[in-house]
């Protein structure tokens, strides 16, 4: 997964999650609501605009803070990677270095996506 794909994941997740219902959320209602809000905000993100991505990183931090224990560490991994990518500010050398560190981020994102579907009935896209 590269930097552009990571940014697109947040934007695409917004579109998919914004149409999903939250009726299946029970104990994790607050997280599910936050996830839907995150998705709605992310739908307005331009994945080619670094300033827009900065906003989505801040939103991801908020939802990560409310994440249930099952995915809290996964959110932190995704957020940490996104912050590094944001700090690289498009520097090609730094982005190439970061692209070598995506295996853990991809695994964490998949865990988040699985949990979102199971707990909140929110589908997020697969990473290809």
pTM value is 0.71
33-47: b or e for each residue (b if 16 or more CB lie within 10 Å)?
Answer: ebbbbbbebbbebeb
Compute the radius of gyration of the chain from its Cα atoms. Answer: 14
At 126 the pLDDT is 52
Tokens for 75, please give them.
């959110």
At 71 the pLDDT is 95
Chain centre distance of CA 108: 10
Q: Going residue by residue through the chain, which has 128 residues, state the pLDDT in tens, using 9 for 90 and above.
A: 555 555 555 554 444 444 344 444 455 688 888 887 776 666 666 655 556 667 778 888 988 988 999 999 999 998 998 888 888 887 888 878 888 888 888 899 889 888 988 888 776 655 54
Tokens for 15, please give them.
């579109």
At 82 the pLDDT is 82
At 10 the pLDDT is 55
Question: Which of 111, 6, 105 lies closest to 56, judged by CA?
Answer: 6
User: Cα separation of 61 and 41, whole Å?
Assistant: 13
At 88 the pLDDT is 82
């Amino acid at each position: 997964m590269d930097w552009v794909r990571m940014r697109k994941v947040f934007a695409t997740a917004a579109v998919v999650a914004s149409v999903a219902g939250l009726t299946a959320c029970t104990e994790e209602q607050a997280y599910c609501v936050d996830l839907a809000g995150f998705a709605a905000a992310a739908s307005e993100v331009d994945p080619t605009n670094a300033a827009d991505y900065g906003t989505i990183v801040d939103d991801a931090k908020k939802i990560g803070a409310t994440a249930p224990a099952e995915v809290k560490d996964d959110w932190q991994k995704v957020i940490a990677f996104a912050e590094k990518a944001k700090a690289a500010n498009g520097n090609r050398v730094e982005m190439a270095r970061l692209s070598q560190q995506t295996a853990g981020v991809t695994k964490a994102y998949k865990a988040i996506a699985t949990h979102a579907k199971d707990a909140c009935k929110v589908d997020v896209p697969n990473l290809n």
